[in-house]
Amino acid sequence: MGRIRELQNRFGFYWPLCAAISLPLLLILSEASPLGLDFAFVMLGIPILLLAWAILGIWAGVVSIRQLDRGKWRLALVSSTLPVSILLTILFFLSFIHFCNDAGDLLHFAFYRTNYLSEIQATPSGGQPRLVVINRGGMIWASRGYVYDEGDEVMLDPSLQSQAWKAISQSTELSCGYSAQAIPGHFQVTRHWYLASFNC
């Protein structure tokens, strides 16, 4: 019984490390689900989660200082992981949000790629390389999704894009303005696939 209590007490000291890892994972998983594109969650849920994370970080900082005073260097180091993670997130906030969004979209893509391929195969090519936009949704002013571009022109400078490609893209969200990046991974699995943000 004493051994179990000792393990419970020891594990309790690792909560700052668990909290440091949990919030990014939660944001990635939410982005991979329909919840990540919900207006209320984006505008209210995420700020509340970040605020709760910050409060836990302040408490973890206090705990870390107390452990330092007691000479418990290892536990102080573990406790400091949360406030350090929060500080790095503040310094690189946009990069942190983009990383969580991209990781969530890639996770979603991994699960739904087969479904998307069926949709693409049902799209007539008309003798041209297929260009299909799959919009996952988002805010009124911006959305995220995937581009399947058999001609691989989506990342080219507009002056290098063919007129046929431009004509097809005008009937998609690409006409609103966009940014795109190739989906990383195995060439045969991710070939012609791009992760994109649309300005509409």
CB 31 within 8 A of CB 100: yes
CB 128 within 8 A of CB 168: yes
Closest CA to 67 of 59, 58, 76: 76
Among residues 28, 57, 91, the one where a domain terminates is 91
Tens-digit pLDDT profile for residues 72-96? 888 888 889 999 999 999 999 999 9
Per-residue confidence (pLDDT) for residue 188, from 0 to 100: 79
CB 142 within 8 A of CB 189: no
Q: What is the residue range of 163's domain?
A: 100-198
Tens-digit pLDDT profile for residues 34-69? 888 888 888 888 999 999 999 999 999 988 888 888
Residues 125 and 182 in one domain: yes
Among residues 45, 62, 91, the one where a domain terminates is 91
Domain count, the chain: 2
Contacts for 41-50: CB closer than 8 Å, 24+ residues apart: 42/139, 49/23, 50/23
